[in-house]
Amino acid sequence: MLVTIPDVLDAERIRFIQAQLSGARFVDGKLSAGMTAQRVKNNEELAADQKLLEQLNNIVMGSLIKHPTYQSAALPARVAAPFYARYNTGMTYGDHVDDAIMGPAGQRYRSDVSTTVFLNAPSEYEGGELVIRTAFGEQKVKLEAGAAVVYPSSSLHHVAAVTHGTRLVAVTWAQSMVRDPSRRELLFGLNEARESLLQSQPDSEASRKLDISYSNLFRMWAEL
């Protein structure tokens, strides 16, 4: 399941983030990559700066994890602090799947759901599409600043080479309460229908039955 969320960050927050990143120090992205990813990763990531990271994370993650579409799509149990990545002209990230287990010792989590939040406009760079391989073929994603895409961490994906300009994104991962992506997709669709019925026909028998079915399927599949 691939879900796009158009309105995670508003224009004011995007301007603040861009201003902070414009003067920040970036390092080779390979420093955070696993053994396999190191061979195909060519980007830069924001250097560890506790004060700056705290400011950015409060905005980016504070907005993302509160968004109802993200909550419904990811069903997050644990969410990681993001990496802030920069792709200048010529940079790319080849085909890979995200590491199955992430985090430092004592804070390990399973990566079930990946999320990319776009931090600058697509008109500011050429190329740089996030290309996700799905059962329906490759899906190319290049969203407006402030939008996000949510997809299974097990998906084979890559970032196409940036041919002009600079691409800025925040990338984060979540361990979901529902490990299986097909079950998450089913619950996401059911929840959309459930919420629509609860708004339009809150007292109907159909709303009651769908609400019960969603709740009990979630209970059956959830892991905490």
In the chain, what are the domain boundaries? 3-176, 181-221
Q: What does the block give as tokens for 36?
A: 């396999």
Query: How many Cα atoms within 13 Å fall on the side-chain side of residue 165?
Result: 12
Look at residue 189 in the predicted model and tell me its pLDDT. 97
Q: What is the pLDDT of residue 36?
A: 75
pLDDT (tens place) for every residue of the chain, 224 residues total: 999 999 999 999 999 999 999 999 999 988 887 777 788 999 999 998 889 999 999 999 999 999 999 999 999 999 999 999 999 999 999 999 999 999 888 889 999 999 999 999 999 999 999 999 998 899 999 999 999 999 999 999 999 999 999 999 999 999 999 999 999 999 999 999 999 999 999 999 999 999 999 999 999 999 98
Count of alpha carbons within 13 Å of 106, Cβ hemisphere only?
0
Q: What was the pLDDT predicted at 155?
A: 96
- DSSP track, the chain: --EEETTSS-HHHHHHHHHHHHTS-EEEGGGG--HHHHTTEE-EEE---HHHHHHHHHHHHHHHHH-HHHHHHH-EEEEPPPEEEEE-TT-EEEEE---SEESSTT--EE--EEEEEE-S-GGGEEE--EEEEETTEEEEE---TT-EEEEETTS-EEEPPEEEE-EEEEEEEEEESS--HHHHHHHHHHHHHHHHHHHH-TTSHHHHHHHHHHHHHHHHH---
How much is the pLDDT for 124?
A: 98
Classify domain 3-176 by CATH architecture.
Answer: Sandwich (2.60)
User: pLDDT at position 135, please?
Assistant: 86
Give the pLDDT score at 104.
Answer: 86
Q: What pLDDT is stored for residue 206 in this prediction?
A: 94
What are phi and psi for residue 67, nearest 5 degrees?
-75, 125
